[in-house]
Structure formats: structure tokens, C-alpha cells
Amino acid sequence: MKDPIAFRAACDEARRSGATVGFVPTMGALHSGHLALVAEAKRKASFIVVSIFVNPTQFGPNEDFVHYPRDFVGDLQKLTDQGVDLVFAPEPSAMYPEGEQTRVKVHRLTDPLCGAFRPGHFEGVTTIVAKLFALSGPAVVVFGKKDYQQLAVLRKMVRDLFFPIDLIGHPIVREADGLAMSSRNVYLSADERARALGLSRGLRAAWSAFEGGERRTETLRALALREVHAVADRIDYVDVVDPVDLMPPGERIDGGGAGAKALVAIACHIGKTRLIDNVVLGEDPVPGAAVTS
């Protein structure tokens, strides 16, 4: 389905028939991580819709919009095999009609981490997702936690704008060797793919130290950074931040007390490919263990 109004009508009709809409927004090039989001939506809802839309407004001028991996035929087959009820794949002109001028922006949460390196990115994300939520109506929506900052920003948008959306974050889905699944992994050469494992190694190093009682922010950061520095061609950031407001937590995480949590987030370039990964210390299991559903 390509028409936004027909998409809205289909979701409305499903609810009138007594179904609960489960929605998984994607940019296509689907892999097992996306299919895990679909499986989670099926556990929470009875009418499952997936959008496939490579959103032009979230790409910067020197990013990979034109070359972003696309495989609509393959994606459609995977979704059919998963029993998805509806696939919404609009053209850019349908989502951004001629003369459109509206943008949706969340402040503060979009400033650190990826926001500092991808100006305008999150405004593009929140704008397109707001449009999708306006079309889908009340729904259970599943996003992956690999894009942790994106999930935090969208949760804030949902709360602030009273969208009738139950937003669920799904754990990062990893390959057996620990690499976080991403559509961009197809860009990696064999050597780059091997080097990319440094991200999960860095997260494991910080996780293990935290589990052993380490609460000094800079020490935890340094443990992750050491592994990433050894493999990355360029590092955007390796940061330890509060998992709610994404701000630095001070010298010690939560003063070193019980119940402390912190997000260790990484963004770096391996060859020409930008990769991200993260772990929430005090909440997530050890990064690197394969999660399939």
C-alpha cells in the first residue's frame, strides 16, 4: 500500500473490527533484528502493519540517502512469511507533499550524542514518525533499542504531544559473535566486519567492570573507548550518560549507590560505515549475547 489515506483507513477499519494495531516503522533492508520487532508486535497486537520508507529528511547532505540499502521485493517476502497484515511503502512525495512546511522538533534530548554529529537528523526522524503516528492512530509501536537516543526522543514526543501510542523498546538483536544487527552492516568488508566487533567488546568491558562494582564514569568510558579506538577509523563519541536525560552523570554513576544505571553509547566509523551500539549498565544483560526475539 502506497497511499497514506488508504493506510489510515485500513488501520481504522482494523480497530472497528475489534483488532489492536501493532506497528513497526522501518526504512527497509530488513534483517533478523527487524523481524524480531515484528514478532514483538505480534505478541502485543492482532493486526500487524510495517512501514518501509527511507526518510530523506533525516539524512544530512554528506550521508548515504542515495546509497542506503533497499530491497523491497526481499523485504515484502520476509514480511509475508512473518504473517504481516499490511505493508505501507509510500513515495516521498506522498509523505512530503508539495508545499509542505511543518517540522516536529524535540529539544535537549536531541543535542548530545548523535545530535552533535548529525545536525537536523532527529528533526527528520520526529517529523516522519509524527506523520506515521497521525496516520496509524492508536497502536502498539515497536522500535529497537540499538537506536537508543532515537527511542528516547520518540518517547518524549509521544508524551508531549499526547499521541495514542504504546511505544515499546525491543532489546538489541545481535549476531552470534556480538555485532549489533544493522542494515548498514552490508557495507562492511570482511576486515571491517571483524573490526566492528570492537564495539561490543568495548561495551562488554564497561559492563563487566560495572558488574564488578566500578562506578567511576571516566573509568567505565575509558574501558569502552580503548576497544573502539583500536578498531575505528574515526570516533564520533564513546560516552557514559544518564539513560533518561542523556546528560553526563558526574564523576560517579548515581553517586555510586545501589540501583545505579548509566548508558554507554558508541558511534564510530569503520571504513565508510557509521556504526552505533550501546548498553544500559545496571539494566541490560551482557552485550554480545545473541538475542533473536
* Cβ proximity of 206 and 221 under 8 Å: yes
Residue whose C-alpha cell reads 497502536 in the numeric block: 139
Per the annotation, binding residues for ATP are 27-34, 144-147, 173, 181-184
Whether 229 is catalytic is no
Q: How many residues does the chain have?
A: 293
- Distances in Å between the alpha carbon of 274 and those of 39, 182, 228, 277? 27, 10, 13, 10
Q: Write out the binding residues for beta-alanine.
A: 58
Q: Return the sign of the alpha-carbon dihedral for residues 128, 36, 263, 63.
A: negative
Is residue 124 within 8 Å of 157, Cβ to Cβ?
no
Give the end-to-end CA distance of the chain in Å, rounded to a whole number.
27
Cβ pair 266, 277 in contact under 8 A: yes
Contact between 125 and 152 (Cβ < 8 Å): no
Q: Binding site, residues?
A: 27-34, 58, 144-147, 150, 173, 181-184
Among 34, 67, 170, 229, which one carries the catalytic annotation?
A: 34
- Do residues 19 and 138 lie in contact, with contact meaning Cβ atoms separated by under 8 Å? no
> Could you give the CA distance from residue 237 to residue 77 in angstroms, rounded to a whole number?
37
Residues in binding site for (R)-pantoate: 58, 150
Q: Is 13 exposed, middle or buried (0-12, 13-18, 19+ CB in 10 A)?
A: exposed
Active site residues: 34
